[in-house]
Chain A
């Protein structure tokens, strides 16, 4: 059974860079059928797609976040990662990693990790 698990700091300072990793188990990140994505949800608000990556390295980013976001994949570790720079309080959110296909953003989600941006 596929499992995704986010890991990273729960508290980050404003202007710094957030780094999160999603570890995939029960399946290979190198499957050509799947895309691996990040979605976030500010407290009490809706979902926002951040970006997605294919194991070949092709990336797709939300235009509103593209200048601050980098998503990468490590096939040897079966992991993919998210970096968001120049953080502000508006980046405080639960960050989810997810697996999807070209026509479906996500059919499997991690449990999510709360990241708070505060000094």
Chain B
């Protein structure tokens, strides 16, 4: 398969934990990255190589993977985490990139 599937929308209460998932065959052999995008802004990398955080990304963001599913977990969600989240990985050829359709996270 050449697709990555995400739930269109997820909500979480302030301070609670939320998991955003991404499914696709390419994830069996490739690491996922996760991008956060707020309205009118460029995406920001929050997790790469399954569970590595770039400098400046809070440690409440973490990643994991099992089989064909990658997950982004936010432990203790903050109001500023409300955004669209996109997963991304190489496809099975190894030469092309795929994006999931994005998940809109609402912090209640």
Seen from chain A, the residues whose Cβ lies within 8 Å of a Cβ on chain B are 37, 46-49, 52, 60-63, 96, 103-107, 109-112
Contact = CB atoms under 8 A, between A and B. Distances in A.
Contacts of B49: 103-104
A46 to B, nearest CB: 5
Main secondary structure of the interface of B (DSSP, over half): strand
Nearest to A101: B48
Contact of B45 (A37, A61, A63, A107): A107
A96 B102 contact: no
Contacts of B33: 104-105
Contacts, number: 50
Contacts of A63: 96
B27 to A, nearest CB: 14
B76 interface: no
Interface in B5-48: 31, 33, 35, 37, 42-45, 48
A119 to B, nearest CB: 27
A46 B35 CA distance: 12
B42 A105 contact: no
